[in-house]
Amino acid sequence: MPAPTETTSPQPPRHLVVVANRLPVRRVGESWERSPGGLVSALEPAVRTSRTSWVGWTGVPDEPLDAFEHEGVDLRPVVVSADELQRFYEGFSNGTLWPLYHDAIFVPTFQEDWWEAYQAVNRRFAERTAEVASPGATVWVHDYQLQLVPAMLRELRPDLRIGFFLHIPFPAQELFLRLPWRTEVVRGLLGADVVGFQTSVGADNFRLVARRLLGARIEARTLVHAGGRTRVGTYPVGIDAERIREIAESPDTVRRAREIRAELGEPDTLLLGVDRLDYTKGIEVRLRALRALLDEGRVDPGRTVFVQIAQPSRDDAPGYAETRTLVEQMAGSINGDFGGIGAAVVQYLHQGQDLEELVALYRAADVMLVTPFRDGMNLVAKEYVAAQVDLDGVLILSEFAGAAHQMKQAVLVNPFDVRGLEAAMDEAVNGDRKVHRRRMALLRRAVFRDDAAWWAREFLDALERRSDPPPPPVPGSSDTGATHADPIGSGLVGRA
């Protein structure tokens, strides 16, 4: 008699726990709807194929909520008080870390009570995650607001597989070492099995800092340290390019794109900028370059329109009010000098737009300006390319955006060089259209290949491979101070 055929039931999907500062929903009246943020869109492919819980804050201070479900995702709110919102979020996250990690374009503030709030909120997120995660679950922690969570969670739940991804740049040693609590932050990140960065520059910066501050040994892409082994990799985040293409090709979008150009007076050239209003985005540099081109007669103000969308963001954080005032003054000055009645050269909108309207703007625009002084990735650049179904647009992209590492066929510029940006804008407006179309075709191929699903799969596959138990501590190592090679000494490095 033949042996019975062995049958196995399919393995249930691993429990994935996403940990982020915000939940993927926002309240609208008495109900919840999906948030429009880039992280939510980027993680959608991973969420669709996993049994997923999401730990995060609702966006409303002092709001205790029970767990609830939305679109098949188990949502686990974390309470953040109004005082913590000011000190943890507006303070340490966006007044200390954000400017420091963006090359100190705006001077960061180092304040002890902000740091204390950052620790307290990170501890609360770690404890909430430890309650939610099933045995052996995969936990994916996101971004600069929660850099202490991996080590805190590792202490509470050593059975978990923990990944961390930083969506913004990780700075060079000389900048990061200014942070009084630098050792604690690095130790927090090393609690993860895998730490991911947008670019190889960020990954290399972190490896060097970990070696300098905690004596971690660099073995290829792995850091060996007192707590075990942490893989450090580059995983550039993508977009849902197919969704953008579908919206761009829809009859409603085509019709809206034509309406936009008609509403703007059928310009020969429509330039576009889409950003959060932030001092890192370089909006004022675009306006300065545009004014120079107008002054020199290289751009016709009667046939050119620049639309700048500046979505409100962190209005109470240091530097934002100054940036808004400067941008609005520059836009008004250009319109006053070069515009006419009902014919502004700069159309400035301090408001957000829904995705369908943005894609219509992408299709309508001849030139997209993405000129941040520093940016982790910049998904707007990729969205614009995905929307160029006719290959007619030109992307001007800052060398200091993470996207530039993947999008070398764009017109790359140094945003600190206004003359160089002027030349790039001149080339985009007046250059060879055949060359620009060939470059756009190559850009689209890369954006569709390395999309959001690819990004999530690459990171989670790397985390899955880190399933081996951590090795015993390296003999003679310690996680509480500087190494012998650290020229700074232990006075600040070992601070706790």
Q: Read off the pLDDT of residues 11-59 as tens digits, 9 standing for 90 and up.
A: 456 799 999 999 999 888 888 998 877 788 788 877 877 899 999 999 9
> Does CATH number 3.40.640.10 belong to domain 242-449?
no
Instruction: Confirm whether 15-237+456-493 and 242-449 share one CATH topology.
Output: yes
CB 54 within 8 A of CB 77: no
Which CATH topology does 15-237+456-493 take? Answer: Rossmann fold (3.40.50)
What was the pLDDT predicted at 3? Answer: 46
Global pTM value:
0.90
> Which residues does 219 contact at the CB level (< 8 Å), separation at least 6?
none
For the question of residue 315 being annotated catalytic, the response is no
Average pLDDT of span 346-369: 96
Q: Which of 197, 192, 146 is nearest to 168 (CA)?
A: 197
Q: Is the alpha carbon torsion for 103, 109, 110, 112 positive or negative? A: negative
What was the pLDDT predicted at 46? Answer: 79
Q: Which of 336, 389, 342, 398 is nearest to 362 (CA)?
A: 389
> Which residues does 400 contact at the CB level (< 8 Å), separation at least 6?
372, 373, 374, 375, 414, 415
The pLDDT tens digits of the residues spanning 394-452 come to 999 999 999 999 999 999 999 999 999 999 999 999 899 999 999 999 999 999 999 99
CB 377 within 8 A of CB 198: yes
Per-residue burial over 280-300, b if 16 or more Cβ lie within 10 Å, else e, is bbbbbbbbebbbbbbeeeebe
**If you ran DSSP here, which 8-state letter would residue 66 be given?**
-
CB 141 within 8 A of CB 189: no
Q: Token match 């409100």: residue?
A: 312
What was the pLDDT predicted at 318? Answer: 66
| Distance, CA of 364 to CA of 270 (rounded, Å) | 7
pLDDT greater than 60 at residue 382: yes
Which residue out of 193, 240, 375, 450 is catalytically annotated?
A: 375
Which residue out of 15, 167, 225, 436 is catalytically annotated?
A: 167
What is Dmax (Cα atoms) for the chain? Answer: 94
**If you ran DSSP here, which 8-state letter would residue 343 be given?**
B
What was the pLDDT predicted at 495? Answer: 27
CB 369 within 8 A of CB 283: no
Give the start-to-end residue ranges of the domains of the chain. Answer: 15-237+456-493, 242-449
For the question of residue 375 being annotated catalytic, the response is yes
Q: Token match 């985390």: residue?
A: 463
The pLDDT tens digits of the residues spanning 194-214 come to 999 999 999 999 999 999 999
